[in-house]
C-alpha cells in the first residue's frame, strides 16, 4: 500500500466513524420530564428556599396572599439552583401556604418539564397538590396539571417573573 492508498483508507475510516457517532448522538430521543405522585414525596424535607409572611396585595387571593396570618414556604428538590439564569430540566419546586387558624392549606408546584413542552413559558408545568404531595384531581377526576393550569392563571402571574425563569423566589 502506498502513501496515497493509506491516506484514502484512513480518510474512509474517519468518515465512517463520524457517521457512526452522529447516529449515536441522536439516540436516545429527548424526552419530557413527566412528574408523577412520587415526584413530590416528602417535599417538606427539601431545601426551604424562601419563607414569606403576611398578606401581599400583589397576590390578590392567590397563594393565600389576602390573609394577614399566612405563611408561604417554598421548597426546592435536590437543592436545585438555576444555571445561567435557567432551571435545569427536572427541577421541582413546591410551595405550601398555610395560616395561623389552620383553615388554609394550599399546595402548588412547578416542574421544569423541558423538551419544548411549552416554549413560550420556559417549559414549566404547573400543579395543584393534595396535602400528602399527591397530584390533586378535579371533580372530573383529572389531574390538576399543565402549562395552562386554571385557565392560564398560574402562568399569567408567573410571567411577571419571566426574567428569572418564571420563578419569583430568589435564592
Contact set with ligand HEC (CB under 6 A) = 52, 56, 59-60, 62-63, 72, 74, 93, 95, 108-110, 126-128, 149-150, 153-154, 157-158, 161, 167-169
Residue 107 Cβ vs ligand HEC, minimum distance, rounded to whole Å: 9
Cβ distance to ligand HEC smaller for residue 80 or 167: 167
Tell me the three cell numbers of residue 84: 445561567
Which residues have C-beta within 8 Å of that of residue 133, sequence separation ≥ 6? 37, 40, 41, 42, 43, 94, 107
Q: Which is nearer to ligand HEC, 135 or 167 (CB)?
A: 167
Whether 135 contacts 127, CB under 8 Å: yes
Length of the chain: 171
Q: How far is the CB of 69 from ligand HEC (least distance, A)?
A: 14
CB nearer to ligand HEC: give 25 or 92: 92
Residue bearing cell 393534595: 130
Minimum distance from residue 31 beta carbon to ligand HEC (Å):
22
CB of 19 to ligand HEC, least distance (A): 44
Please work out, in degrees rounded to the nearest 5, the angle formed at the alpha carbon of residue 59 by the alpha carbons of 54 and 65.
Answer: 30
Amino acid at each position: 500500500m502506498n502513501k496515497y492508498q493509506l491516506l484514502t483508507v484512513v480518510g474512509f475510516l474517519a468518515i465512517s466513524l463520524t457517521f457512526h457517532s452522529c447516529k449515536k448522538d441522536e439516540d436516545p430521543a429527548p424526552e419530557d420530564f413527566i412528574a408523577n405522585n412520587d415526584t413530590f414525596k416528602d417535599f417538606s424535607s427539601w431545601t426551604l428556599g424562601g419563607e414569606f409572611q403576611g398578606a401581599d396585595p400583589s397576590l390578590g387571593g392567590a397563594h393565600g396572599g389576602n390573609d394577614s396570618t399566612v405563611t408561604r414556604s417554598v421548597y426546592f428538590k435536590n437543592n436545585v439552583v438555576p444555571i445561567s439564569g435557567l432551571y435545569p430540566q427536572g427541577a421541582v419546586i413546591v410551595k405550601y401556604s398555610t395560616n395561623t387558624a389552620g383553615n388554609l392549606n394550599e399546595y402548588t408546584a412547578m416542574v421544569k418539564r423541558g423538551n419544548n413542552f411549552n416554549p413560550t413559558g420556559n417549559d414549566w408545568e404547573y400543579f395543584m397538590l393534595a396535602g400528602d404531595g399527591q397530584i390533586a384531581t378535579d371533580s372530573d377526576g383529572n389531574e390538576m396539571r399543565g402549562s395552562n393550569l386554571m385557565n392560564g392563571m398560574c402562568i399569567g402571574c408567573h410571567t411577571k417573573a419571566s426574567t428569572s425563569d418564571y420563578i419569583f423566589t430568589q435564592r
